[in-house]
Amino acid sequence: MTEVVVTLNGEAAHVPAPASLETLLEHLGLDPRAVAIEHNREIVRRAQLASTPVAEGDTIEVVHFVGGG
């Protein structure tokens, strides 16, 4: 199995390849319904996660709701 290196939430991360955003979330143990994903500065809708490949050098942000005012 090969891997790709991406910038995930600001840090270098090694992701088993081939990967989609959906498999990345699975790998991270995250529920897609509780997060939002930005892929190279573009928001990816939940329905598109499985069909969006993760490539070497991608920048990915995974966010969720935390306490705030």
Partner 1 sequence: MYIDTPFEIAGRQFRSRLMVGTGKYAGNREMVEAITASGAEIVTVAVRRVDLDRSKEESVLHHLSPDNFFLLANTAGCYTADEAVRYARLGREAGFNDFVKLEVIGDRETLLPDVAGLLEATRILVAEGFTVLAYTNDDLITALRLEQAGAAAVMPLASPIGSGLGMLNPYSIRTIKSRLSVPVVVDAGVGTASDACIVMEQGVDGILMNTALAAADEPVAMAHAMKLATEAGRAAYLAGRMPRREVAVPSSPELGMLA
- Residue 18: CB minimum distance to partner 1, A: 21
User: Which lies closer to partner 1 via its Cβ, residue 45 or residue 57?
Assistant: 45
- Whole-angstrom CA distances from 17 to 1, 3, 6, 33, 64 are 7, 5, 11, 23, 25
Site string for partner 1, 30-49 (x = CB under 8 A): x---xxxxx----x-xx---
- Whole-angstrom CA distances from 13 to 4, 34, 45, 61, 66 are 8, 21, 22, 12, 23
Is position 50 an interface residue for partner 1 (rule: CB under 8 A)? Answer: no
Binding residues vs partner 1 (CB under 8 A): 8-11, 13, 28-30, 34-38, 43, 45-46, 61-69
